[in-house]
Amino acid sequence: MPAAPDAPFEPRTVVVTGGAGFIGSHLADAFAARGCRVLVLDDLSSGRRENVPAGAELHVLDVRSPAAAELVAESGAEMLVHQAAQMDVGRSVADPMFDADVNVRGTLNLLEGARRGAVRQVLFASTGGALYGEQEVFPAPETHPERPVSPYGVSKLAVERYLWFYHHEYGLDAACLRYANVYGERQNPHGEAGVVAIFLHRLLAGEAPTINGDGLQTRDYLHVSDVVAANLAAAGRPGYLVYNVGTGVETSVLALYRELARAAGCHLEAAHGPPRPGEQRRSSIDAGRARRELGLGEPLPLAAGVDRAATWFRDRHAAAAR
């Protein structure tokens, strides 16, 4: 007997965009472990084939391509886990048209495929800090005014609004998960990398990292395991949902650097460079609603998460040296 329209469901087939990348590959692992058929859609511009879990199907496609929309429409997938994005804030400022092309037009391309196919829910990797902009309240709840100060944040907010339209017009359920600054194992230390990966990579190589600005800017650093937990908890839930996924704790870049240097066993003094355009001064998000409604536990403490990430990066360095 089919499930009632508003009943939660367990997907049998999922498409994970960006599934060869950092967060996406962890999510591909998690859905595969649940017994789902997992189709990874990734153009490999920053993702790596070795990140794709055994048994998953890798489709090397650009999210903007007709073939990507066709895959979503014809695969029989009930869930689209959309992690692929242009995620470099600085590049979005320098080239807002490219940012919108990938993040907005690329997403619309996939949503049209979802509308034509069997997709019942979209799990969307939105953003907390970049979407709220310069905050009035710390940590920011989901009700905080949305005032992005970068095209990247604007594009993520635009996709949230498009998802509301697709939900209202076509009954496509969506969970917009507004991530804090995610770090952890498999993060790419090159290109569009996060600061944790960049700093660990350089520290383990015996090189001093460069801190943008004075280092007193704050962020909410969240281990990737907590992102996976939030996605799994939101998966299959009916409706249009918006959740912050973070720790609610502000950590300055200077404090983060000290934690990373401790974990890496390297205490070089960091250099300082100019601040990056388009980045806000302070950021932290309140994930209380997600913990209450999704039943999430307390996030992994920063020291424990940094130790896990440092171990992974150290192993990678040792393997590369052999």
Measured distance CA(16)–CA(20) in Å, rounded: 9
Measured distance CA(219)–CA(281) in Å, rounded: 9
Helix (H, G, I), strand (E, B) or coil at 263: helix
At residue 121, the pLDDT reads 98
Cβ neighbours around 287 below 10 Å, total: 29
pLDDT digits (tens, 9 = 90+) for 244-255: 999 999 999 999
pTM, rounded to two decimals: 0.96
With CA atoms as reference, report the closest residue to 81 among 175, 185, 183.
Answer: 175
At residue 270, the pLDDT reads 94
At residue 279, the pLDDT reads 77
Contact 258, 201 (CB under 8 A): no
With CA atoms as reference, report the closest residue to 224 among 144, 317, 312.
Answer: 312
Angle at Cα 190 formed by Cα 33 and Cα 302, nearest 5°? 60
Angle, nearest 10°, between helix axes 22-33 and 224-234? 50
Cβ neighbours around 67 below 10 Å, total: 12
At residue 192, the pLDDT reads 59
At residue 1, the pLDDT reads 33
In this structure, what DSSP letter does residue 101 have? I
- Ranges of residues in the chain whose predicted pLDDT is under 50: 1-4
Residue reference for tokens 């996060």: 194
Concatenate the DSSP letters of all residues of 121-145 into one string: EEEEEEESHHHH-S-SSSSB-TTS-
Supply 165's token pair.
């339209």
Measured distance CA(119)–CA(123) in Å, rounded: 11
> What residues are labeled active site?
152
At residue 70, the pLDDT reads 98
At residue 317, the pLDDT reads 80
With CA atoms as reference, report the closest residue to 231 among 72, 12, 81.
Answer: 81
Supply 50's token pair.
């070795």
Supply 180's token pair.
């804090």
Burial class of 30 by CB neighbour count within 10 A (0 to 12, 13 to 18, 19+): buried
**Looking at the chain, how many residues does it have?**
322
Residues 108/278/220/197 CA torsion (nearest 10 deg): 90
- Residue type at 191? G
Supply 195's token pair.
């600061």
Spatial CB neighbours of 12, under 8 Å, sequence gap ≥ 6: 36, 37, 78
Domains of the chain by start residue, with CATH = 13-182+221-245 (3.40.50.720), 188-219+250-279+301-321 (3.90.25.10)
Concatenate the DSSP letters of all residues of 70-99 into one string: HHHHHS--SEEEE------HHHHHH-HHHH
At residue 30, the pLDDT reads 98
Per-residue CA distances from 53 to 10, 72, 142, 285 (Å): 20, 19, 33, 31
In this structure, what DSSP letter does residue 6 have? T
